[in-house]
Amino acid sequence: MIPFNKPYMTGDELYYIKDAVLRGKISGNGYYTQKCHNFFKEVIGFRNCLLTSSCTDALEMAGILIDIKPGDEVIMPSYTFVSTANAFVLRGAKIVFADSYSDNPNIDANLIEGLITSKTKAIVVVHYAGVACDMDTIMDIANNHKLFVIEDAAQAIDSYYKGRPLGTIGHLGTFSFHETKNIISGEGGMLVINDERFDKRAEIIWEKGTNRSAFFRGEVDKYSWVDVGSSFLPSDVTAAFLFAQLENLKKIQSRRKTLWNQYYEGLKKLENEGLFELPSIPAYASCNGHLFYILCKHVEERSRLITHLKENGVYAVFHYVSLHKSPFYELENDNLELDNCEMFSERLLRLPLYYELHMEDQNKIINLVISFFDEK
Ligand SMILES: *Cc1c(COP(=O)(O)O)cnc(C)c1O
């Protein structure tokens, strides 16, 4: 079988993990955590960042940092992963879901203003497939209404909006290094802090609500409980793994983008014949080769294509089940309808895309898709 995903190991992970172990300090905020932070600041240009155990953790930190209180409203797309919403629900927020564009699963920026009330505190955007949301429009709305913007950039490493790295445009940005993402550490994530007002408190929340980091820098003479917080920081073993990946960022990205382009070129002819749709990337956005999808005509056709691929040794998957249609949300909310979002939930099919996907396997996948539509 050709799997849907295969985590790529660069070969240097065990070397750095061994080094972390030999250094004798493997808890959080150690040698490799610092090396990763420095990499992100120097190579990608993040102003300030903190590794976390997951993107879910980074989103939860964002919820604490912007002081979400019960009753606050947070606007976000429904077409996303549960963590985008859960992080704010945990703090008592009411989630207000917005629809996607008709030709792009990202939040339709033109719908946001109509959802703002006196209780709205933040807009959380998700750069689906690593493709940027319309950030200028979204930041203008947020500034006019004094709202926070959090970028769920879980899928968006090495991707850009008008040349600016995603995760650096909103007040806070969150990344994932889960093994399904481009750069991985098994489980892992990062909070990027773009607004300096959050610098000090972010570090305290990260260190379980203590000023431990300031204490070790000699800035305070006691190490005490000063705020709420949790254990958001990953072990230095995880950071050592991540560092091996970061050193290979260019190589990994170049391969993934090549694979993405080969899918696109290989399937373009069928799109031109109107058999399905391929991803459309707005002029302001870049492609980081995170995931490749096609849009089938309807859910029934998608199911048949998944079966056709599986019978021929290829795993392909769909997502997301829109959050506004999920059992947890529907318990308390009546029939919200978000047409575009539901359309993507029914029609979007993801094809295997991973660093070690061989050319002949990718050609096999492309030919299977072509043969499926040719037989019709
Ligand atoms: C993967 C993902 C997450 C969760 O990341 P974890 O690191 O697994 O917590 C959140 N949001 C989006 C959009 C994702 O794709």
Confidence at residue 242, expressed as pLDDT on a 0 to 100 scale: 98
Is there a domain that residue 8 lies in? Answer: no
Confidence at residue 205, expressed as pLDDT on a 0 to 100 scale: 98
Confidence at residue 335, expressed as pLDDT on a 0 to 100 scale: 81
Q: Residue 365: exposed, middle, or buried by beta-carbon count in 10 A (0-12, 13-18, 19+)?
A: buried
Percent helix, strand and coil across the chain, each to the nearest 5: 45, 15, 40
Whether residues 159 and 50 fall in one domain:
yes
Instruction: State the angle between helix axes of 236-246 and 13-23 in degrees (0 to 180), rounded to the nearest 10.
Output: 140
Task: State if residue 56 touches ligand 1 by the CB under 6 angstroms criterion.
Answer: yes
Q: 328-347: buried (b, 16+ CB within 10 Å) or exposed (e) per residue? A: ebeeeeeebebebbbbbbbb
Q: Return the closest-CA partner of residue 150 out of 110, 192, 111.
A: 192
- Nearest-angstrom CA–CA distance, 65 and 374: 53
> 127 pLDDT exceeds 90?
yes
Whether residues 242 and 259 fall in one domain:
no
Is there a domain that residue 7 lies in? Answer: no
Task: State if residue 185 touches ligand 1 by the CB under 6 angstroms criterion.
Answer: no
Whether residues 150 and 299 fall in one domain:
no
Residue closest via CA to ligand 1's atom 2 equals 154
β partners of residue 292: 351
Average pLDDT of 213-217?
91
pLDDT digits (tens, 9 = 90+) for 304-334: 999 999 999 999 999 889 999 999 988 777 6
Confidence at residue 331, expressed as pLDDT on a 0 to 100 scale: 76
Q: Separation of 217 CA from ligand 1 center, angstroms?
A: 32
Average pLDDT, the chain: 97
Is there a domain that residue 4 lies in? Answer: no
| Domain C-terminal end among 246, 261, 285 | 246
- Nearest-angstrom CA–CA distance, 326 and 347: 17
Whether residues 210 and 348 fall in one domain:
no
Whether residues 207 and 274 fall in one domain:
no
Average pLDDT of 27-40?
97
Q: Residue 223: exposed, middle, or buried by beta-carbon count in 10 A (0-12, 13-18, 19+)?
A: middle
| Domain C-terminal end among 190, 218, 246 | 246
In the chain, which ranges are continuous DSSP H helix?
A: 13-23, 31-39, 55-65, 82-89, 135-145, 199-206, 212-216, 236-246, 249-272, 299-311, 327-330, 339-347, 359-374
Confidence at residue 373, expressed as pLDDT on a 0 to 100 scale: 94
Q: Which atom, in ligand 1's list, is nearest to the CA of 56? A: 9
Confidence at residue 315, expressed as pLDDT on a 0 to 100 scale: 98
Handedness of CA 7, 10, 15, 17 (dihedral sign): negative
Whether residues 269 and 183 fall in one domain:
no
Confidence at residue 49, expressed as pLDDT on a 0 to 100 scale: 98
Tell me the residue type at 55. C
Most ligand 1 atoms within 8 A of CB, residue of 178, 288, 319 to mutate = 178
Do 208 and 230 meet the contact criterion of CB atoms below 8 Å apart? yes
Q: Is 288 helix (H, G, I), strand (E, B) or coil?
A: coil
| 278 phi, psi to nearest 5 deg | -105, 165
Most ligand 1 atoms within 8 A of CB, residue of 59, 128, 176, 191 to mutate = 176
Do 40 and 190 meet the contact criterion of CB atoms below 8 Å apart? yes
Q: Return the closest-CA partner of residue 95 out of 118, 129, 125, 71.
A: 71
Task: State if residue 202 touches ligand 1 by the CB under 6 angstroms criterion.
Answer: no
Do 15 and 244 meet the contact criterion of CB atoms below 8 Å apart? yes
> 116 pLDDT exceeds 80?
yes
Average pLDDT of 212-241?
95
Q: Residue 371: exposed, middle, or buried by beta-carbon count in 10 A (0-12, 13-18, 19+)?
A: exposed
Average pLDDT of 334-357?
95
pLDDT over 90 percentage in the chain: 95
Confidence at residue 135, expressed as pLDDT on a 0 to 100 scale: 98
Sheet strands side by side (includes 94-98) = 49-52, 189-193, 172-176, 148-152, 120-126, 73-77, 94-98
CATH code at position 126: 3.40.640.10
Q: Separation of 134 CA from ligand 1 center, angstroms?
A: 20
Task: State if residue 362 touches ligand 1 by the CB under 6 angstroms criterion.
Answer: no
Q: Separation of 330 CA from ligand 1 center, angstroms?
A: 22
Task: State if residue 178 touches ligand 1 by the CB under 6 angstroms criterion.
Answer: yes
Is there a domain that residue 5 lies in? Answer: no
Q: Is 283 helix (H, G, I), strand (E, B) or coil?
A: coil
CATH code at position 328: 3.90.1150.10
DSSP tag of 109:
G
Number of domains in the chain: 2
Most ligand 1 atoms within 8 A of CB, residue of 83, 241, 341, 344 to mutate = 83
pLDDT digits (tens, 9 = 90+) for 180-205: 999 999 999 999 999 999 999 999 99
Task: State if residue 238 touches ligand 1 by the CB under 6 angstroms criterion.
Answer: no
Confidence at residue 270, expressed as pLDDT on a 0 to 100 scale: 94
> 370 pLDDT exceeds 90?
yes
| Domain C-terminal end among 246, 264, 280 | 246
Confidence at residue 23, expressed as pLDDT on a 0 to 100 scale: 97
> 376 pLDDT exceeds 80?
no
pLDDT digits (tens, 9 = 90+) for 40-85: 999 999 999 999 999 999 999 999 999 999 999 999 999 999 999 9
Neighbours of 364 (CB within 10 A): 16
Q: Which domain holds residue 298?
A: 249-375
